[in-house]
Structure 1
Amino acid sequence: MTRLPIDTDYLLETLGKLLSIPSPTGYTDTVVRFVTRELEKMGLEAELTRRGAIRVVRQGSRREGARAIVTHLDTLGAQVKALKDNGRLALVPVGHWSARFAEGARATIFAEKGAYRGTILPLKASGHTFNDEVDTLPVGWDYVELRVDAMARDAADLERLQIDIGDIVAIDPQPEFIDNGFIVSRHLDDKAGVAVALTALKALQQEHAVTPVDIHFLFTIAEEVGVGAASILTPNVASMVAIDNGTSAPGQNSSEFGVTIAMADQTGPFDYHLTKRLVELCRDNDIRYQKDVFRYYRSDSASALEAGADVRTALITFGVDASHGYERIHMHALRSLSELVTAYVSSPVTIKRDFEATAEGIKGFTRQKTVEAEQALTPDIENEELGPQS
Structure 2
Amino acid sequence: MNEMDMEYCLSALRALLAIDSPSGFTEKVSDYLIDELTRLGYEPHKTRKGGVVCCLGGEGNGLMLMAHVDTLGGIVSTVKSNGRLTISPVGGLRAENCETENCRVYTRFSGTYSGTLQLCNASVHVNGDYNDQKRTFQSTEVVLDEPVGSAQDTRALGIEVGDFVCFDPRTVITDSGYIKSRFLDDKLSAAMLLAFAKEIREHDRTLKRKVYLHFTVYEEVGHGASASVPEDVEELISVDMGCVGDGLTCTEREVSICAKDSGGPYDYGVTTALVEAAKAAGVKYAVDVYPYYGSDVEASLRAGYDVRHGLIGAGVYASHGYERSHIEGVENTLKLLEAYTL
Normalising by structure 2, we get a TM-score of 0.97
Task: Pick which of 174-183 and 122-131 moved more.
Answer: 122-131
Q: Which of residues 14, 21, 24 in structure 2 aligns to 1:23?
A: 21
User: Which residue pairs with 1:121 in the alignment?
Assistant: 118
- How large is the Cα RMSD of the aligned pairs? 1.1
User: Which residue pairs with 1:78 in the alignment?
Assistant: 74
User: Which residue pairs with 1:262 in the alignment?
Assistant: 258
CA contact (8 A) 1:99 1:144 kept: yes
Aligned-partner Cα distance in 2 for 1:151–1:32: 34
Unaligned stretches of 5+ residues in structure 2: none
User: Structure 2 matches for 1:320-359, cutoff 5 A?
Assistant: 320-346=316-342
- Partner AA of 2:8 in structure 1: Y
Report the identity percentage: 35
Cα displacement (A) at 1:249: 1.2
Cα displacement (A) at 1:61: 2.9
User: Which residue pairs with 2:235 in the alignment?
Assistant: 239
Does residue 272 (structure 1) correspond to residue 268 (structure 2)? The answer is yes
Aligned-partner Cα distance in 2 for 1:197–1:338: 8
- Partner AA of 2:218 in structure 1: A
Aligned-partner Cα distance in 2 for 1:287–1:296: 26
SS at match of 1:21: coil
SS at match of 2:20: coil
CA contact (8 A) 2:243 2:256 kept: no
- Partner AA of 2:147 in structure 1: M
Aligned-partner Cα distance in 2 for 1:68–1:130: 53
Q: Which of residues 300, 303, 307 in structure 2 aligns to 1:304?
A: 300
Q: Deviations over 1:115-144 (max 9, x none)?
A: 00000001131111113x111111221111
- Partner AA of 2:118 in structure 1: L
User: Which residue pairs with 1:14 in the alignment?
Assistant: 12
Consecutive aligned runs of 4 or more in structure 1 exceeding 4 Å deviation: none
Aligned-partner Cα distance in 2 for 1:80–1:279: 44
User: Which residue pairs with 2:34 in the alignment?
Assistant: 36
User: Structure 2 matches for 1:180-259, cutoff 5 A?
Assistant: 180-259=176-255
Q: Deviations over 1:176-211 (max 9, x none)?
A: 110100011101111101011111111111221122
Aligned-partner Cα distance in 2 for 1:307–1:29: 24
Aligned-partner Cα distance in 2 for 1:74–1:310: 25
CA contact (8 A) 1:184 1:329 kept: yes
CA contact (8 A) 1:245 1:318 kept: yes
User: Which residue pairs with 2:48 in the alignment?
Assistant: 50
Q: Deviations over 1:204-224 (max 9, x none)?
A: 112211223210111000100
Cα displacement (A) at 1:340: 1.2
Cα displacement (A) at 1:97: 2.5
Aligned-partner Cα distance in 2 for 1:47–1:217: 11
Unaligned stretches of 5+ residues in structure 1: 347-390
User: Structure 2 matches for 1:72-111, cutoff 5 A?
Assistant: 72-111=68-107
Aligned-partner Cα distance in 2 for 1:97–1:105: 12
Normalising by structure 1, we get a TM-score of 0.85
Cα displacement (A) at 1:253: 2.1
Cα displacement (A) at 1:5: 4.1
CA contact (8 A) 2:234 2:306 kept: yes
Q: Which of residues 140, 144, 147 in structure 1 aligns to 2:136?
A: 140
SS at match of 1:338: helix
Aligned-partner Cα distance in 2 for 1:215–1:246: 22
SS at match of 1:101: helix
CA contact (8 A) 1:204 1:342 kept: no
Q: Deviations over 1:305-337 (max 9, x none)?
A: 000011111000111111000111101011111
User: Which residue pairs with 1:356 in the alignment?
Assistant: none
Aligned-partner Cα distance in 2 for 1:119–1:212: 49
Cα displacement (A) at 1:254: 2.3
CA contact (8 A) 1:5 1:339 kept: no
